[in-house]
Amino acid sequence: MKVTFSSTGNLILIKPVRKNPVVLTFLIYLLFIASNWANAQQGLQPTIAGMRWGADYNLHVKLANDSDYVVDVRGLYHTGKNLFVDTTDNAATYYPVNLDREFVDYIKGKRIYDNAQSNSTSKQSYKTLWAALHGNLGGGYIHFINCLVYALESQNLRLTDPLLTRPVTKWKPKPTTPTYRRTRKWTYYVPVDQNLAHNEYKKRLRAKDLKDLQGVPQSFIDLFLNTSQTEYDDMVRMRMNHKVAQIDLVKLLLGAKYLGEDQIRYISSRVLIAVMKYGINTMPSVIIFDDYNAAVALSLGMDGYKIEKIVYSDGEEVSGTELEGRTELIEALIKRINEANERVFRTKLQLYYQKTR
């Protein structure tokens, strides 16, 4: 499912990276982008001033900046009261939503690379991709995944970027290590080739070592597994960035434990640039809850999904009491989703991604 964000930039204090001019160049670029966007942008996605159902599957949305949109309901994301909410701490629920002002203001307001940090703290924060991004973005695991997906979909991050290329060398460790045997055919630090990526997935599956994919939507994994290299190349050529990003997310996380500190720093910087570069005049995220005849505008804040507005297609035909009851049920469902997502982050993923390698 598509994940989009709305965001602005701000001046960021960046701690220089020693002995790697390529990484330093990109961090300086991050500073440049953030500074320019702070001056160029004034806000996030416009506030919804009104939303109503129309005829023939249309939804009319009016924003506070006086712009109007007519949306075909059939093209929006649909769900309902029977949505499965995992209570076993094994899965997360994802909605295709934008970031809200609360979340982006948090990113703008904090010093992303804090010079006051000790060297040991700084090194620790780049032990894993999760630690690097969580230290800058905050939020739970859904923020981590959503930001990676958007960086890939917007092509601010590409798995074939030069800094992710493995050096060409005839050297090999003696004795050879499992990691060397596993990755020696990779051109990049992640398995970019579909065949190599599929082999890595199968090996990890047999070894019951797929924690890196914990919480990733199953539809992303299914798409990855069911796409050949030829089909993937066709998607890239046809600019099907939405599907390509979902596949690339799986590849990136399969290669996450093989990344070095330089690669983790680079990926982190590209994700932050992507979030801060996102345009402001995007449509709000509207999810259709079919079983409630409701259109719900959602956003992703520091504490998870939050409801911006709800309108009902049959709102003029049913009593106010019934509509209030539906609203309470939808609010309770979103609360359960946020709680379940937080349990996944707290009990499974935080421990895994913050452990030392």
CB count within 10 Å of CB 58 equals: 13
Phi, psi for 214 (deg, rounded to 5) = -60, 125
Residue 232: band (very low, low, confident or very high) from pLDDT cuts 50, 70, 90: very high
The larger pLDDT score, comparing residue 85 to residue 273, is at: 273
pLDDT at 47: 75
pLDDT digits (tens, 9 = 90+) for 301-323: 888 899 999 999 988 888 889 99
Task: Judge whether residue 106 has pLDDT over 90.
Answer: no
Task: Judge whether residue 39 has pLDDT over 60.
Answer: no
pLDDT digits (tens, 9 = 90+) for 148-164: 998 999 899 999 999 99
Residue 252: band (very low, low, confident or very high) from pLDDT cuts 50, 70, 90: very high
What is the mean pLDDT of the segment spanning 212-227? 90
pTM of the model: 0.74
86 CB-contact burial (10 Å; exposed 0-12 / middle 13-18 / buried 19+): middle
pLDDT at 143: 83
Alpha-carbon span 192 to 200, nearest angstrom: 11
**Cis peptide preceding 217, ω within 30 of 0:** no
Task: Judge whether residue 61 has pLDDT over 50.
Answer: yes
Residue 140: band (very low, low, confident or very high) from pLDDT cuts 50, 70, 90: confident
Residue 46 CB contacts under 8 Å (≥ 6 apart), including other chains: 63, 64, 65, 67, 280, 281, 284
Instruction: Lowest mean pLDDT of 9-13, 200-204, 261-265, 314-318, name the range.
Output: 9-13
Alpha-carbon span 134 to 143, nearest angstrom: 8
Task: Judge whether residue 123 has pLDDT over 60.
Answer: no
What is the mean pLDDT of the segment spanning 323-352? 83
Residue 117: band (very low, low, confident or very high) from pLDDT cuts 50, 70, 90: very low
Task: Judge whether residue 36 has pLDDT over 60.
Answer: no
- % the chain with pLDDT above 70: 74
The larger pLDDT score, comparing residue 203 to residue 345, is at: 203
pLDDT at 110: 61
Beta strand pairing status for 77-79 and 98-99? Answer: unpaired
Alpha-carbon span 342 to 82, nearest angstrom: 20
Q: How far is CA 326 from the centre of its chain?
A: 30
What is the mean pLDDT of the segment spanning 54-73? 84
